[in-house]
Structure 1
């Protein structure tokens, strides 16, 4: 159950980022039920790829760049998150999932949106579990 909640949380965050930024996109139709049917499985697939990237690559990169993270008071973590989003895009392309992130600026914005949405959904789910 916990994995399903994590997967749906990250899928929602990716969907929000794709809606807000023109440079973050999934291949396929752009509106209606056809869009939902065509993009649902790729959205879940990209969420899984992003989870694997964040579980394996992100800690190593964060550790290696720890002095820069400290010097920037943690702001460099946003760049690391953007790089993880770009890496997710590249891996998704290699796996045949039509997910694209254009440019580092878009990746930074998308990473920020994904972080905020994931945090907000996690808080809502946590609050719901308490009841």
Structure 2
């Protein structure tokens, strides 16, 4: 559970960065941003695997780039569900997906490094 919450913090950080860099992405309050990150984690855990399987042929033909479209769709879905978190369209959603993906990747690396350091000290 702690790992999921830490990943949500990194996702929220990515969403905050995206709101600064991408026109058309706004949020009302930091709590809204964290709720959006939590819901994004849940949506990615439940809905994304099904979409990946259903779109596997086009993903293969696009050399995996279609996964960015799926990620953008997940972010747009979250923006429709969470009041106070707004993404104005597909292109901003795609850019948010890239930024959030990079920050989540960096967070995963950091969490992995912290886990390894913790295991060494035990």
> Structure 2 length as normaliser, TM-score?
0.88
Between the two proteins, the alignment pairs up a number of residues equal to 116
Which of 113, 118, 130 pairs up with 2:99?
113
Is the partner of 2:47 in helix, strand or coil? helix
Write the distance in 1 (CA, Å) between the matches of 2:4 and 2:104. 14
Q: Which secondary structure does the structure 2 equivalent of 1:73 belong to?
A: coil
Match of 2:54 in 1: 64
Cα shift at 1:4:
2.4
Q: Which residue of 2 aligns with 1:89?
A: 79
Partner of 2:113: 127
In 2, distance between residues paired with 1:65 and 1:16? 29
Shift of 1:58: 1.0
Q: CA deviation at 1:128?
A: 2.6
Give the Cα separation in 1 of the matches to 2:89 and 2:3: 33
**Structure 2 stretches of 5 or more lacking a match?**
118-122
Unaligned stretches of 5+ in structure 1? 28-38
Tell me the residue number matched to 1:20: 21
Deviation of the 1:44 alpha carbon: 1.2
Q: What corresponds to 1:103 in structure 2?
A: 89
Question: CA–CA distance in 1 between the matches of 2:98 and 2:115?
Answer: 26
CA contact 2:7–2:107 (8 Å) conserved in 1: no
Cα distance between partner residues in 1 of 2:79 and 2:114 = 32
Which residue in the other structure is 1:32 paired with?
none
Report the secondary structure of 1:100's partner residue. Answer: strand
CA displacement at 1:76 relative to structure 2: 0.4
